Structure formats: structure tokens, C-alpha cells
Structure 1
Amino acid sequence: MDIDTFRNDPLWIINNRDEPFILFFDETNNPRTFRLTEKGFNSDTRDFFILGGIGFKNEKALKNVSTDKLFEEFKLQQNSTEIKFKHIRRGAENFIDLMKSDRVRIFIEWLLDNKLVIHYSFTDNLYYSIVDIVDSLDDSAIMNWGFNREVKNSLYLLAKENQTTFVKLLIEFDYPNIKSHRLFIEKVVDWIESVNINDDFYLEYFRQVLKSYRTKELPFLKDNQDDILIGDYSLLYWRSLSIFKNATSKLDHEFNIEKYLKKDPLTSNRKKLENYLFEDSKNDKFIQLSDLILGILRYWLSFLDGRSVEEISNVFGQVAYEEKLSLYKLQRVMNQSLNISNGFKHGIGSNDIEKKINFFLEYDFNVDKGNVSNN
């Protein structure tokens, strides 16, 4: 697979993408295949797939960082062969409780003090699965990229709020392999009309356009496998390895991805890309630490996804000072990472979740900055 065409796409304008970063990867919430079952989905749609971890600006920065003191402060049992997120979670059931963990606090401070970067790509499975309905419309019908995103966002929020009835509709037609496009379109049109009680403009526009497709086919919803919504998550791997082609990337073993890369290797200027390797996490502490940050990000995205901006703001306003300080330090690590490269944050998700992520990144936690390292 040639990556140069992909990298030259105007949508992938990434600053500092050619720098020799050292990136470590793990993943979380990987159902391998996301599909429809007789009862719904095979995986909870609230569990975003996330690929990412920690990283360094270059080899010199990597050599200047030691994990010895950090692992000593974790105070793990002597029979522990590697550290996992469960070891620092300390039984926390949600993101705010996670910020109360002393091990999480120690880890976030270590990231900040050592100027490490956080990089991540996520996929909202429900969003990814249904946007082909919108993308099947002609460009002239959906206006522009921004309008397209708003239509997708409204459809996603409606499907999320009325998931039971929407999923029944998808199951009925073996989505995304539609055989009767006319009947499917009629059912979607009727469904939107029945549940769009707030008379959302984008939904009504989409419904009216969709009505004109009764005599057409939705091109992205044919010649697919019945009920297979996401065959695998290789796209996020391809993206990360392609965008940062001059980085050295070390990934925890994921044998399906390794198989695909071996079968169809990444190439640049007709040469095989050799910028990555797969490693057993037991042999690499930085991959282990990537598991920790992904665990934190998993809780973070779940927290944001399950609340409105107003509810998020209310929670932040009520947390105790120590948790607020940890939230601020996590926010600072994220923002410092994005200042190095905006490519360290990537998501296949709705405008709604992007709005909440940006709210977190810009929120004023009103803490004493003197309690935070200024390195």
C-alpha cells in the first residue's frame, strides 16, 4: 500500500509530521470485528476503540527518561511481570474516581515532568457504522464538508437516542448490505419523521433529500457483507504509521494487523516502510505505560460521551481540589502534545464528541499553577 498519496491529501495537513518521533502503541476496546447480531451489536457502542500511547520527540529525549523511579512509586507486587491499567485504576469505576488514584496522579505527573507526548486515534463504532448512509448521497445534495458533518452528527445523535428502533431497522435489511434500497430508504425516511421530535433542520433536510433516492441505490450500502459494520481497525494503524513515516513506532503484538501488514506492506517512494516493529509488552515498559494512558483515555472518552457540555462543566466545578489538579495536569500533557503535532489527536467520531473534547482541552480548572511543574 503506497502511503504518499494518502499523506498528500489536503485533509491530512499535519504539522511536524516528518519529525523522528519515537512512538509506543497499545490498543483498547478492540472487538476485532464490529457487527450486528440478532439482538443488536456484538460490542457496547459506548466503548470506543482507541489506538495510541506515549511518545518522545526523538531518540535523545527517549534516552533522557528513566522509568525506574516511576515503577518504584507504583509499588507493585513483586510477582507482577508487567504493569497494567488495572494496577493503577485501583477499582475506579469512572473517570473522576480515576483521578483520585495515587498511582494515576503519579503517572500523569511523570508524563508532565518528563515532557512526554500522548498520541491517540479513536473510533466511535456507532458513528462509523452509519455515516455511509449520508456519504452515499451525491456531493451536490449534501453541499460541503462542514454541512456533511452536521448532517452526520444529527443522524448519529438521533440513532444514539433511539438506538433500539434504529438497530431493528438495520437488522431487518442486513445492513450494510442492502438488497432493497427503495424499501430501506422508505423505512429510514419514516423512522426519522417519527422520532425527530425536535424538528432538527439537518435531519429534515437529509430526510427530504433521501426521499429523492427512492429510485436510486446507495452506493456504499451494497456489495458488502451482511451485518459486518467494521471488518477490522487496520485503518487507524495505517494512518498512524503513514502520517509519521519518519517516526520509529513500537506496537504491542496484534497478530491480525501484523498479518495484514505482511500481506500488503506499506510503501513510500516504492520502498517498503521499515519504521515500525511489534513487540511483546512484557519486554517493553513504554508499551506497558501506553496501556496505562489508553486506560485513562478510555475512561475520559466514556465520561465525555455520556454527558452534555453543561453536565461536564458542572462535574468539573464540583470536584475536590486534588482531583481538579490531576485533571489540569492531564489536560496540560494533552495540549503540550498537540502543540508539538496536531496529528497526535485523531478520531472517527461526531461533531458532538469533538465539541466535548475541545471543551475539556480549553477548560479553566482554576488551580494554583505553582503546584505544577514548569519544566
Structure 2
Amino acid sequence: MKIDVNELRKPFIEQHRLNNVDDVYTFFYDESNNFRKLYLTEEGFNIEKCDNFVLSGIALKAQVTDINYDELFDNLKLQKNVKEIKTKHLGKGDFLDFLNERKVKIFLSWLNSEDIYIHYFNLNAVYWSVVDIVDSIIDKNPHPFYFMHHMSIKSDLYKLVKSDEEAFFNMLRGFNYPNIKSDELNSFTSLLSDFITTKSVCIDDFRRNILLSLCKNLKELDELFFIMNETDNILINNFLPFYVRTLYIFKNSEHIFDDEDSIEKIMHHFPMQDGSKELSNYKFSNSKTFKGIQVSDLVSGLLGKYFTFIKDMEISDMHTVKGELNERQQENLELMRLIISKSDKQSRGFFNSVMSEDEYMKNDYFLHNVSRI
């Protein structure tokens, strides 16, 4: 059964007041921290470190075949045997190390000087893995108050999880989460309720009372819809939903992805229709074929480091960390802000993040100088 993209995109565009999404662009993509699957094992997760997955790159107005990056290549003074630009050519280390690189400044200055926009999807995978718990509980307590505060509740549950992540996921593993069995539901909700009650001392009283109110009758629930009848221990089976989002939001555009066999093989599971015609506005290609994909590798590498840095930084430390940036780091951060602001002005649809409230606040402060604390 084909999916009419207009049924998907219209309410989303209206809800988020997205602008210029019917314009024609050419999107190039690459990924950072692409672990493809996330599942629970006896030792924890199947991956050693759960950095943020970022699918991002550049967008150009109108349909184009590729970009010319000769000036960028020359300015970076890469060795003649370099056939394609990679993130490693800009620098190494974590985000703050990257901000201190001269070549990062060259790259960001070039981006800002060209008629190029950037786009990104950013995923905090641990946050994504636990928010279905809140949706399942609200599904059984459909009060408008909880719908209004659902983002705050999800962020608070995530904060509790992060306060003792090992214990929490050990508990989930014992029930093959997210596939809780009916005969184990009472045991699961009892342990979950005890965990929330015990750990909720780390959030302020007002928000704690909202969370505890929602979970007051947790032990009596006979169903948790979104975390039952799933697959044992599989938190993220694939990233397909995140690949197709921009395809239907920007349905009139061309989308060129870096080769990703795991996605290309299952893309047919999401056949799209634009009214009476088939929507096939994407292709996968080798990065050596398209310089736009190579530039997208640099964007994704930078943003992958940035959003992981935002996730891991304590909110209480953000003023100190930003205040200790040296001159080059400040200049590069401002160049990041400029290219993101330019792109956001062109279309808010270029950006999408799945992360907690604290991460949104840290991002607003660190990158955009907006303090909500």
C-alpha cells in the first residue's frame, strides 16, 4: 500500500509552521555516528558509546547536478593525493577540539560565503528509546493536562534514567523491553513505579508532582500499548523513518544520499505517492561521485560532535564551558550560528531534533545565546 505524502506532510507543516517547503532544492546527505541498530545485550547496549546519530548535509536552491568546491579544496591546502574531502581532514578530537581547528574556520567561512544552506536530523537514541513509556502511560490516562506537558514529562523521565542508566536498562532487559509480556506487565509496572518514585528527587517539586501524578496508578494498568507486541530488546531497528521525513516534507526537491545499503534495501517498505503519481525523488550514490555528499560529510561530522557534546554537557556547566572558549573557538561557533540561522530563515523544515528539553536549552544558550534558565 502506497502512502500519500500529502496526508503526512500537511498537518506536520501546519503544526510547525514550516516555510518554503514547496520550493525546489537539491539536498545532499551524509551521516555521523551511524550505528544502524540499537538493542539491549547482557552487557548493556550493542554499541560501546551511544553518541547522537546525525543525518545532515547541504541544500541548494533549485535542481543542480552537483557543487563546485575547488575554492574550498584549495583553501584547505589538502595533499594532492586526497581524492575526496572527509571530516578527518578538518581536524580530530571532540567538539571543543574541533572548534579550535583553523581548517574548521576555513570550511565554515566558505559555507557562509556560498549560496548554500545546511539541514540536519539529530537523534538522542537513549531519549528516543524511553519516551514510548510516557506515551504508553498517557494513552491510558488521556487527560489534556498530560498531553500539554508530555514533552516535559518525557524529558524528566529521561533525566531519571540518566541518573542511574545502568540500573534502569538492566531492569528493562529483564523484561525484554520494548516487548513487555502481558503476564509480566504487573511486575514491570511495579518496578518502573518504584524507580520513578525513588529517582524523582532529582527534579523540582512542581515537575516531580506532574510525573508522580501521571504514574500514580501505574501498577494498575492492564496495557502499555507502545512497549508491548514489539521485538525483544530492539530499541531501534533501523533509521528508515528519519531518512524519509525530508523526502515527503520537501516533496518537490531532489534528495541525494551517500550509499547506505541497510537503508536502500528497505526503502521499498515505505512506497510514497504524491496524489496520483509515484514519488521517487531520491537516490543513493557514492560520495566520490558527488562533491555535495563530500561537503555533507563535513557538515555531519561537525554536527555529530556538536550534538553529542550538547547531550553530554551538564546543564550546570554550560556557562563555564562557553565562558572558557578561546578566540578561535568563539569565531567558529559564531560561524556555525550564522550558517544555521541563514538556513533556518530559508526554511525551518531544514532542521529536526529528537532530544530532551535540557538539550534544547543547552543548544539555545551555547549556539544561539538564548538563555532559558
Could you tell me the percent identity over the aligned residues?
34
Give the 3 Å change call, closer, same or farther, for CA 81–122 of structure 1 in structure 2: same
Aligned residue number for residue 207 of structure 2: 202
CA contact (8 A) 1:52 1:119 kept: yes
Alpha-carbon shift at residue 111 of structure 1 (Å): 0.2
CA deviations over 1:122-145 (Å, ceiling 9, x no partner): 111111111111101235246254
Tell me which residue corresponds to 1:79. Answer: 81
- Say if 1:155 and 1:203, in contact at 8 Å, map to a contact too: no
1:118-129 to structure 2, matched below 5 A, reads 118-129=118-129
| Among candidates 285, 297, 312, match of residue 318 of structure 2 | 312
Residues 1:155 and 2:144 are matched in the alignment: no
Return the match for 1:8 from 6, 10, 25.
10
Which runs of structure 2 are paired with 1:346-361 in the superposition (5 Å)? 346-361=352-367
Structure 1: runs of 5 or more not aligned: 365-375
Shift of the alpha carbon at 1:255? Answer: 1.6
For structure 2, the 5+ residue unaligned runs are: none
**Does the CA-based 8 Å contact 1:142-1:148 persist in structure 2?**
no
CA distance in 2, matches of 1:199, 1:315: 23
Q: What does 1:176-255 align with in structure 2 at a 5 Å threshold?
A: 176-179=178-181, 180-198=184-202, 200=204, 201-213=206-218, 214-255=220-261
CA RMSD of aligned residues (A): 2.0
The number of aligned residues is 360
SS in 2 for 1:189: helix
- CA distance in 2 between counterparts of 1:255 and 1:217 reads 37
For the 8 Å contact 2:334–2:367, the answer to whether it is kept is no
The amino acid across from 2:95 in the alignment is F
Q: 1:248 to 1:142 in 2, by over 3 A?
A: same
SS of the equivalent of 1:52 reads strand
Aligned to 1:266: 272
Report the TM-score, using the length of structure 2 for normalisation. Answer: 0.91
Residue 328 of structure 1 and its aligned partner are, at CA, apart by 0.5
| 8 Å Cα contact 1:185/1:211 also seen in 2 | no
* Deviating 4+ runs (over 6 angstroms): none
1:322 lines up with 2:328 in the alignment? yes
CA displacement 1:32-66 (0-9 Å, x = unmatched): 11111111111256401111101112247x88x63
Matched, 1:43 2:47: yes
Aligned to 2:130: 130
**Contact in 2 for aligned 1:248/1:276 (Cα 8 Å):** yes
SS at match of 2:176: coil
TM-score, structure 1 as length reference: 0.90
CA contact (8 A) 1:120 1:346 kept: yes
SS at match of 1:126: helix
